[in-house]
A and B are shown apart, each in its own frame.
Chain A
Amino acid sequence: MTRIRPNYEDRVSAEKPEETIYERWVGGLLRYIDEEKNMRIGVYVCHCGGNISEVVDVKKVAALMGEQADVTLARDYEHMCSEAGQKIVLDDIAEHNLDRIVIAACSPQFHEKTFRATLVKAGLNPYMLEIANIREQCSWPHFDYPDYATLKAKDLTNIAVAKVRLDEPLGSKAIPIGKRVLVIGGGIAGIQASLDLGDAGFQVYLVEKEPSIGGKMAQLSRTFPTEDCSACILSPKMADVPANSNITMLTNSEVVSINGYVGNFEATIHEKPRYVDVDKCVTCRVCEEKCPVKVPDEFQEGMKNRKAIYVPFDFAVPYRHLIDESVCLRLTKGGEVCGLCQKVCPHDAVDFNQQPRTHEIVVDTIIVATGYDVFDARLKKAYGFGKYENVINGLQMERIISCDAEGKPLRDIGKRIAFIQCVGSRDEQVGNEYCSRICCMYATKLSQLLKRADPSREVYVFYTDLRSFGKGFEEYYKRAQDTGVKFVRGRPAELTEDRKTKKITIKVEDTLSRQMLESEFDLVVLSTGMVPSQGTESISKILRLNKSPDGFLREAHPKFKPVDTLQEGVFVAGTVQGPKDIPDTVAQASAAASRAIRLMNQGELEAEPITAQINEDLCGACGTCVSVCPYDALKLVEKEEKKVAECNEVLCKGCGSCAGACPTGAAQQKHFKTTMIRAMLDAALGVDATPGKEA
């Protein structure tokens, strides 16, 4: 038999102070119970298909809840969220005239909305519902203490009953929502989302911090497993962006702040000067030839130089010059220094006086597609990246192969090439526990491209596990093996460089044959993984988005809301949410666009019903709430010749800061009134506040 808190009653009575002490403040508590007579509460305890019932004695919890005051009925059921489960609630409401519902099941983050809809269907106000979270808070974290889990489940359900007794019907205002979207990040995710939205007739602002859109995909050689030329399939899409009249493209620009809320986000965007008038420039490249400054070319991953005045790459959009202000002689030294580009430009496009511009835009929804950064392989010291000239990363190999294909080789490749997998992924030493999901396949791709280009090459891939899970991936891996790429299971501990020949020696244990291998290579490619981009870091702060433990942005629900965030009207697309390949990124971008369209096409949205509320009889207009409100929703207004605070329910987001700060209790938060929180507190502490059992 399950024991339910032996000595529980003793403990409560022992700790219960004499009546007079409680009188004043429990007095308030008793009042509300008297006022709310004849409630009919239905309590439903969910088994969650064993998730709850294997630990918590759900029948016992239901039986105990049935004894609570105001509880008309209490049941347990296998799956409350199922249609059958909801039907039970609907039927009970009809048959037993229930007016308040408590569901003891999983976290309200999952099914609060589901059951609110059920209540609406039954003709009840959706806010006459409370969820007791007995899965995430009982059966899962306390399966070591099953008895206690049952007791705690009872307590949590009791807290919900105490709260539901006081719940009041809530309604809300409609706020208009327009058709303007801000897409942050101009990689393939941002491009795809922008095009989908633009084609659907929505007004898009696409903001990219680099001087060209295109992102990382623009740098890739070919895409696995089909081996399409990356630039060839991407460049038409890039060109479509400026061609689409619904899309406003802002490159070389960064979002610096966003205020407001869904339907009314106010974004401030800083556009850095290009120092070249894009309307005059025809990209004749005369300036570039004359420019005396050479710096490593980011697009070629530093393996080639570019000039201070340059075009980011051959299929850049916009395909126009710009000046790198951090290295340009005129812009760094001032005065009349250099200025050669300006002198030679036949179209007078160079303008050293160009100033940064600030764009203030208002949008209804936002899609965040700030992508990823390549793991900085220097952090993996044993591999000598940045120190040994013949150790490069995967993206550099992509550039090498791309340029080779164009007949403009970037560097010598040699005959013996090794790939090392899982650099910066699945490696707790560098703090990244996750798998980057693309490295196995891009190494499979790059290795066979190298081998096919020159069959005399010996190409090795040292892997931890070879993960070829996608459509056509396993077949592609087989093809690489057939091509002659040698796959060795083993993670090299250290690389050493021959000081004279600069060749790299890899020592590794082949964990399949249990043999130690030692071999010298001309070139070692580190299959570097993905890490959250710097842009992600700043945008998550600006938009206050949650991150997962891996540092990528967190989706609202891993299964059913994979592109939503907890900020209404903000969506994620692509690798900003986690490592993924191009097809997944594109799919997610289209999904994000469609989720945004779904919201905007409604024309209006329900404003947050859980807003602040001022009791004008008590408000002395001290202005504390006005000062603390982060949304300026509260204002002092004159009413009947007296000043009182007033809440603008459209601006109010329902944080309750005002209620927490109000010195008189005049400011309250609907659905979280002080009396309600107090009732939950009492229930949590076992202060018996049920009618007839007053303290």
Chain B
Amino acid sequence: MSKPKVSKPKVAFYWCASCGGCEEAVVDLAEDILTVADAVDIVFWPVALDFKKKDIEAMQDASIAVSFINGAIRTSEQEEMVNLLRKKSGLVVAFGSCAHLGGIPGLANFSDKAGIFERAYKLAPTVTNPDGIYPQTETQVPEGSLTLPVFYDTVKTVDQTIDVDYYLPGCAPPPDLILNAVTGILEGKLPGKGAVLAPDKSLCDTCPLAEYKPEKISIKDIKRPHEVVHDPEQCFLAEGIICLGPATRSGCGERCIKAGMPCRGCFGPTRDVKDMGTKVLTSIASLIGIETEEEMSEEELQKVLAKIVDPGGLFFMYSLPSSVLRRRRIK
């Protein structure tokens, strides 16, 4: 009793500023991808199938059932493409950390275009560029004019560029959440618009190390993961290793924790939090020397705080563009 072919929902996948891991995640569905592929009609997936932009332009507005967009928005081309997909799609799902929060590419917001170009095209040790030639949006060659997209100063999340219906968090989103989301869409069983398709609680809720956590944690020293041999039966925070788990949405399957690494926050904040980085900051800072604060000398305190070399990069690792300040100030 298979449905007639014409009624298959159309699905698009697109990538913006991302590493490609999210594309891998789709393939990671393994056998399940066949079920998905059978149930839908993939109309656009540049990384796997050959479609052109004009194919999409030719489609009727809102004729794509759902577009999964991964990656952050960093260039004019990405902006143009997501706007196009928005127009042509019924639903847009921001897929993965970069689309959802800005992700690792979003850390570029601590710099700007000029800084990034200088680093990438001039200062990088593998580059020789004595004339300081940087990519241009338009270059004249004998054959005519070559163009490149505009490289913006600021990395944006997808929802800062277009209207987003749902978010699938993770770097990359785990197969079970993807499958849940796809099934939800196909069956029309979705929560309210704007929902993040993962549990509301933070990672500690499901963390396998939670049972080893002491009742009160007092951070006396901060250590980086390579400085200690992690005890697989101890909470990272109790060991002095900064873990973003307390502030991070759960649903990832605790892959990092099980591999002996602390959480770095790729699932983003929980429902009511607007600025994940400062939430991590406040929870970590509040624990420093708890209940022995008066005995802690200024030097000891400074020593502990100095161990957090790059608080911006650490606390906002995946969420900088979606944070309250979004980026380094442009003066």
Contacts and interface: CB of A to CB of B under 8 A. Distances in A.
Interface of A: 20-21, 24-25, 28, 615, 617-624, 626-628, 636, 642-643, 657, 660-666, 674
Closest 3 CB pairs of A and B: A620-B202, A622-B246, A663-B247
B201 A619 contact: yes
Interface stretch (B14-22, B176-184, B214-222): B214-222
A623 B215 contact: yes
Contact of A663 (B160, B213, B282): B282
- Most A-side CB within 10 Å, residue of B282, B286, B290: B286
- Most B-side CB within 10 Å, residue of A25, A615, A624: A624
Nearest to B272: A665
Contacts of B273: 663-665
A612 to B, nearest CB: 14
B205 interface: yes
- Most A-side CB within 10 Å, residue of B159, B160, B201, B247: B201
Given A661-B282, A663-B279, A664-B279, A627 B205 contact: no
Contacts of A664: 201-202, 246-247, 269-270, 272-273, 279
Interface string B229-272: 00000000000000001110010000000000000000001111
A628 to B, nearest CB: 5
Contacts of A622: 202, 204, 245-246, 283
B79 interface: no
B8 interface: no
Nearest to B201: A620
Contacts of B290: 627-628
15 contacts: A618-B271, A620-B203, A623-B216, A624-B287, A627-B216, A627-B287, A642-B205, A643-B210, A657-B286, A663-B247, A663-B280, A663-B283, A664-B247, A664-B273, A665-B279
A476 B214 CA distance: 70
Given A663-B246, A664-B272, A623 B213 contact: yes
A642 to B, nearest CB: 7
A172 B331 CA distance: 50
Given A643-B205, A664-B247, A665-B273, 10 more contacts: A620-B202, A621-B205, A623-B204, A627-B215, A628-B286, A643-B210, A661-B287, A663-B282, A664-B246, A665-B272
A21 to B, nearest CB: 7
A376 to B, nearest CB: 28
- Most A-side CB within 10 Å, residue of B203, B245, B269, B271: B271
Contact of A618 (B159, B200, B217, B282): B200
B202 A28 contact: no
* A interface: dominant SS: mixed
A269 B270 CA distance: 47
A551 B85 CA distance: 70
A620 B216 contact: no
Given A620-B203, A621-B204, A622-B204, A627 B274 contact: no
Contact of A24 (B210, B270, B274, B286): B274
Interface in B66-92: none
A287 B184 CA distance: 94
A381 B324 CA distance: 60
A665 B210 CA distance: 19
Contacts of A627: 215-218, 286-287, 290
B322 interface: yes
B283 A624 contact: yes
Interface string B10-34: 0000000000000000000000000
Contacts of B250: 620
B205 A660 contact: no
Given A627-B218, A642-B205, A665 B270 contact: yes
- Most B-side CB within 10 Å, residue of A619, A623, A642: A623
Nearest to B287: A627
A21 B274 CA distance: 12
A664 B270 CA distance: 6
A24 B322 contact: yes
Nearest to B199: A620
B282 A660 contact: yes
B162 to A, nearest CB: 10
Contacts of A619: 201
Interface string B35-48: 00000000000000
Contacts of B202: 618, 620, 622, 663-664
B322 A620 contact: no
Nearest to B161: A20
Contact of A660 (B159, B203, B286, B322): B286
A681 B201 CA distance: 27
B270 A618 contact: yes
- Most B-side CB within 10 Å, residue of A21, A617, A660, A663: A663
A628 B159 contact: no
A618 to B, nearest CB: 6
A665 B273 CA distance: 6
A620 B290 CA distance: 21
B102 to A, nearest CB: 12
A620 B270 contact: yes
Interface string B289-331: 0100000000000000000000000000000001010100000
A415 to B, nearest CB: 56
B286 A661 contact: yes
A445 B286 CA distance: 58
A618 B202 CA distance: 7
A20 B159 CA distance: 9
A657 B270 CA distance: 20
A624 B288 CA distance: 11
A346 to B, nearest CB: 50
A21 B216 CA distance: 39
Contacts of A666: 270
Nearest to A620: B202
B246 A628 contact: no
A21 B160 contact: yes
B217 A620 contact: no
B326 to A, nearest CB: 8
A19 to B, nearest CB: 11
B279 A623 contact: no
A310 to B, nearest CB: 38
Contacts of B324: 25
A26 to B, nearest CB: 10
- Most A-side CB within 10 Å, residue of B202, B271, B322: B202
A657 B291 CA distance: 13
